[in-house]
Amino acid sequence: MVHDFQLMKWMGASSFRTTHYPYAEEVFEYADRHGIVVIDETAVVGLNLAIVAGVLGLKALPTFSQDTMNNQSQEAHAQAIRELVARDRNHPSVVMWALANEPSSSESRVREYMEPLVALTRELDPTRPICFANENQANAQSDYISDLSDVLCLNRYYGGYINTGSLEAAEPGLEKDLRSWQSKYDKPIIMTEYGADTLAGLHAVGDVPWSEEYQANILDMSRRVFDRIDNVVGEHVWDFAEFQTPSTFIFRVDGNKKGVFT
């Protein structure tokens, strides 16, 4: 843990999100002492059966229904929020509660599921802002719950999953996307995920996906766009370090390779 914090300091990072679950209490204590800003997130990832279906090649089911994410799911989620706030509310490093990562927020029933959880969080802690990490399938026009958030947290992979291999298309695409959120909501925007998978040691002259140069070019392109959007107040590259994931998918080569550090 100490080594990780030193690496963050070395590369000039001042904050992180606890994706996709609350971290150990020692992490928050260390962040308190060293002035690191933390977005504290519940262990709620996967409320999006369209993503699951796409990855596994299955028929997409509605995410929110009596047979999928139902009242029992909502109560378990509520209990996770109660425990999170009770444990971490006295840490000065914690500045915002993230209630979910990439829920299916373009499904109409998501509001019925999420609105009571937002109200619960505000009741438990009226002092901190609330957010959730939005995924690209729910854009500014189709999202049903972003008005409930105090800060818009966006996960976007232009040049990676979108406009793969074409930064000429990715740059205006990302800018148009962010301007649409700024125009509709006029709220602070934090880029909670962006970047690209890279295989260490793979080099290329042009914009070749998986090369080290392409990853660097995507980060440069993204930051140029962020600097042009007034409402963008922060950014978290995805992610700190590469990590193991199931490697049976064609887009995973021995894990998730988007890390700043290998």
Q: How far apart are CA 47 and CA 102, in angstroms?
A: 7
Options 102, 107, 171, 242, the catalytic residue: 102
Residues 137 and 215 in one domain: no
Which of 204, 193, 117, 186 minimizes the C-alpha distance to 156? 193
- Is a pLDDT exceeding 90 seen at residue 30? yes
Residues 201 and 108 in one domain: no
Greater model confidence, 85 or 252 = 85
Bridge partners (DSSP) of residue 41 are: 98
pLDDT tens digits along 87-130: 999 999 999 999 999 999 999 999 999 999 999 999 999 999 99
Of 117, 141, 165, the residue that ends a domain is 141
pLDDT at 43: 95
Establish whether 102 is a catalytic residue.
Answer: yes
pLDDT tens digits along 151-179: 999 999 999 999 999 999 999 999 999 99
- Is a pLDDT exceeding 90 seen at residue 252? no
What residue type is assigned to position 42 of the chain? T
Residues 63 and 2 in one domain: yes
Other C-beta atoms closer than 10 Å to the C-beta of 29 total: 12
pLDDT at 51: 84
Residues 131 and 249 in one domain: no
Residues 77 and 46 in one domain: yes
Residues 104 and 190 in one domain: no
Q: Tokens representing 179? A: 């301007």
Residues 260 and 171 in one domain: yes
Q: How far apart are CA 138 and CA 142, in angstroms?
A: 6
Greater model confidence, 124 or 247 = 124
Strands 152-155 and 37-41: unpaired
Whether 9 maps to a domain, the answer reads yes
Whether 58 maps to a domain, the answer reads yes
Residues 113 and 243 in one domain: no
Least confident of 16-25, 74-83, 123-132, 239-248: 239-248
What residue type is assigned to position 146 of the chain? S
Strands (E), the chain: 15-17, 37-41, 94-101, 130-134, 152-155, 189-193, 232-235
Residues 21 and 63 in one domain: yes
C-alpha torsion angle, residues 106, 110, 116, 120 (rounded to 10)? -60
Options 41, 171, 193, 242, the catalytic residue: 193
pLDDT at 120: 98
Q: Is the dihedral of CA 230, 137, 244, 249 positive or negative?
A: negative
Contact 74, 113 (CB under 8 A): yes
Contact 47, 80 (CB under 8 A): no
Domain count of the chain? 2
pLDDT tens digits along 189-217: 999 999 999 999 999 999 999 999 999 99
Strands 189-193 and 232-235: parallel
Which of 12, 7, 38 minimizes the C-alpha distance to 24? 38
pLDDT averaged over the chain? 95
Whether 151 maps to a domain, the answer reads no
Residues 85 and 213 in one domain: no
pLDDT at 98: 98
% of the chain exceeding 70 in pLDDT: 100
Whether 191 maps to a domain, the answer reads yes
Domain that holds residue 164: 157-262
pLDDT at 46: 84
